[in-house]
Structure 1
Amino acid sequence: MIIAVNSGTTNTRFYLVEDGRVLDSVKIKVGLKDCAIRGNNEFYKRSIRQEIIKIRERSRKTGGCISCIVVSGMATSSSGLYPVPHIPAPASLEDLASNCVSGNLKDISDLPFLFIPGVKNEDTHNGENLHAVDMMRGEETEVFGILGLTHIQGPVAVLLPGSHTKLILMDEQQRIIEGHTAMGGEILESIARHTVLSESLPDPLIQKVLPEYLWKGYRYAREYGMGDAGFRVRLADVFGMMEAQERANFFAGAVLREDIKMITGKIKDTDRFLCVGSPPLSSIFMELLNSVPGQKYQPELLTEEIAEFCSPVGAGLIAKEYGI
């Protein structure tokens, strides 16, 4: 039995996993963004410690024995719990397992830790081509969990919408060959909550996907730019031209146009194109990608259950390959 911890920019998730089955899970709204805001990781570490204590207390009811805490995601970055270098693509599940780092963090837990490395695009341009470099932490674990849960074989493209939009390309040997990132989700949240638009946008932002207004925002940003489109949201509110959810969808379409551009520009020959995430963001990407002009590959939306459990399943597979 293991505790799998997946920490992202905004949230951290904890799972109790035994033989590929998730017995318990919890999510807290604490991530690496909190370290950046506070200038240190003390609050971040304290929050993780508290949740590990709680999940261990609940695990005692099952009578199981926890052997290890397996950590993926931003907790392995320089600002997280324990920095672990990225490994270069192409990267297989075996490559991830052989590059895991074991360690002890007594201020967090007396259990041993196993840290899963992130993956970076191989730099073939000696650092001169900024557009070619990219990296991921956490998504490498999720993508192998997705393949484990679905038994899908590559080549396959996997889209993971979230605070950061990740497009991961896998080859026929089930290796990550490259990843690409955009910040649409975080930009949506930041502008909606921390600018003048906060008065004109609902919270939560998207409560119902309205394709007509998604596309209005998408087309407006394509013609006039995202900054211009953003202020139209404020004007549409002041002059009573759109209802709250209409404004929210217009805004989402305008902001996420840039992510759609990244995806359609980076996706390559593939057998399948999977979208794995939670609504409403996954539904928005599906709507835009299924209708965007010139898009060759149509995505398949996998279930919310796969989106929820791909990380702990992937962590379990990597830990098993490592020898735990």
Structure 2
Amino acid sequence: MSATYAVVDSGTTTTRVRIWRDGEVVWSASRQVGAKDTAVDGSTAKVVASLRELLATATAETGSEPAAIICSGMITSNMGLFELPHLPAPASTDDTARGMVQRQFPDISNVPLTFVPGVKTLPGSDGLAGLPTGDVLRGEEAEIVGLRHALGIQPESLFLHIGSHHKAIQVAADGSILGSRTAITGELLAAVTSNTFLKSSVEPLDGLELEMDAVVEGFAAAREYGFGRALFLVRVGEQLAGQSPARMTSYLLGVLASLDLPLLTGAAPDTPIVVYGIGAFPGILGEVLLAEGFAGVRVASKAVADSAAVAGAVSLYERYLVLHG
């Protein structure tokens, strides 16, 4: 039997632990706690408690303690358990593995935690005008390693990660991360549907039957009339045009999807693009990008993306052992 690994992905709002054994995920659970809680509380206590409980439960239910606990995502930020500086882009797979750091956290586990560094793209030197070239990512570096292997991707590609933040990540043929761009589209969706008057004009996303024609109309409205006006048209559709909240929810998703197209500025039409992540946006962006003339778009299923993220973290850890051997 091969080694058992615990892979921790702790992001802005969710901390997840998955157990990897014999080439597959054999156990998975998550808690709704993350870097946002640390920022609000000024303490990592909630993340520590959740991790301790998740790891103890995993050990009890799988029958073995992990040989290593591999951590990526916001858990390596200044709002995480251990701040690990970003590596500057371009960053190769070996750069990432070489930059991993191991630390003891006895209040979480007897097994040391190994942290995976994120990658930063430095802004230009000309003040505010140079900001658009700058970016940061944490967690996607492991996902990309796994997705390239799972999907058999060899040429230079773009990976479009969909989560609380949407990120376009440029990856070289050798797997090096060349740079990234981020939009806070996921957080805007949560804010608009929960904390504005549009809440009464839309439906919860869980169980929503997507209407792609409404998505396309919302996308087009944002481009023609502007993002703010297109958002208000959600209310107009529900209040004055007899459109159902479900249909206007699809329209709203199209409006928000318009924010992601600029992330691909400069990409050639034949660039291989992998869209992956959570919720309705991967499917939406897959269709929108094809309609915009990008011919090489692939949408990775959630199951493939989830497994690949764990496999990528394990691959980086095994390379870390070789490089630090």
Give the structure-2-normalised TM-score.
0.91
Asked if 2 retains the 8 angstrom alpha-carbon contact of 1:276 and 1:306, the reply is: no
Give the letter aligned to residue 100 of structure 1. Answer: M
Equivalences for residues 226-305 of structure 1 within 5 A: 226-239=227-240, 241-263=242-264, 265-268=265-268, 272-292=272-292, 295-305=293-303
In the alignment, is residue 153 of structure 1 matched against residue 151 of structure 2?
A: no
Quick one: distance in 2 between partners of 1:94 and 1:40? 33
Per-residue deviation at 1:25?
Answer: 1.1
**What's 2:119 paired with?**
119
- 205-214 or 105-114: bigger deviation: 205-214
Instruction: Provide structure 2 residue ranges, at least 5 long, that are not aligned to the other structure.
Output: none
**What's 1:72 paired with?**
72
**What's 1:104 paired with?**
104
Quick one: distance in 2 between partners of 1:56 and 1:127? 50
Q: Report SS of the residue matched to 1:83.
A: coil
In the alignment, is residue 30 of structure 1 matched against residue 28 of structure 2?
A: no
Give the letter aligned to residue 76 of structure 1. Answer: T
**What's 1:311 paired with?**
309
Identity of aligned residues (%): 29
Distance 1:123 1:68, change over 3 A: same
Equivalences for residues 200-215 of structure 1 within 5 A: 200-204=201-205, 207-215=208-216
Q: CA RMSD in A?
A: 2.0
- 195-204 or 92-101: bigger deviation: 195-204
Residues 209-236 of structure 1 show CA distances to partners (whole Å, capped at 9, x for unaligned) of 2121112111211122222222222232
- 3-12 or 83-92: bigger deviation: 3-12
Distance 1:251 1:304, change over 3 A: same
Quick one: distance in 2 between partners of 1:106 and 1:65? 14
Per-residue deviation at 1:297?
Answer: 4.1
**What's 2:164 paired with?**
163
Per-residue deviation at 1:83?
Answer: 0.6
Per-residue deviation at 1:307?
Answer: 1.2
Asked if 1 retains the 8 angstrom alpha-carbon contact of 2:18 and 2:25, the reply is: yes
**What's 1:186 paired with?**
187
Give the letter aligned to residue 125 of structure 1. Answer: S
**What's 1:44 paired with?**
47
Residues 26-50 of structure 1 show CA distances to partners (whole Å, capped at 9, x for unaligned) of 2322222222333433223222222
User: Which one has more relative contact order, counting CA pairs under 8 Å at least 6 apart?
Assistant: 1
Q: Report SS of the residue matched to 1:207.
A: coil
Distance 1:162 1:16, change over 3 A: same
Report how many aligned residue pairs link the two structures: 318
Per-residue deviation at 1:157?
Answer: 1.3
Give the letter aligned to residue 309 of structure 1. Answer: S
Match of 1:5 among 3, 8, 13: 8
Q: Report SS of the residue matched to 2:9.
A: strand
Give the letter aligned to residue 323 of structure 1. Answer: L
Q: Which runs of 4+ in 1 moved over 4 A?
A: 268-271
Q: Report SS of the residue matched to 1:44.
A: helix
**What's 1:92 paired with?**
92
- 310-319 or 143-152: bigger deviation: 143-152
**What's 2:321 paired with?**
323
Distance 1:297 1:38, change over 3 A: farther
In the alignment, is residue 55 of structure 1 matched against residue 53 of structure 2?
A: no
Distance 1:65 1:49, change over 3 A: closer
Asked if 2 retains the 8 angstrom alpha-carbon contact of 1:86 and 1:118, the reply is: yes
Quick one: distance in 1 between partners of 2:100 and 2:270? 29
Asked if 2 retains the 8 angstrom alpha-carbon contact of 1:217 and 1:253, the reply is: yes
Quick one: distance in 2 between partners of 1:239 and 1:36? 41
Instruction: Provide structure 1 residue ranges, at least 5 long, that are not aligned to the other structure.
Output: none
Asked if 1 retains the 8 angstrom alpha-carbon contact of 2:122 and 2:134, the reply is: yes
- 234-243 or 156-165: bigger deviation: 234-243
Give the structure-1-normalised TM-score.
0.91
Residues 124-160 of structure 1 show CA distances to partners (whole Å, capped at 9, x for unaligned) of 5376510001010000110001112223212111111
- 116-125 or 134-143: bigger deviation: 116-125
Per-residue deviation at 1:163?
Answer: 1.3
In the alignment, is residue 18 of structure 1 matched against residue 16 of structure 2?
A: no
Distance 1:126 1:70, change over 3 A: farther
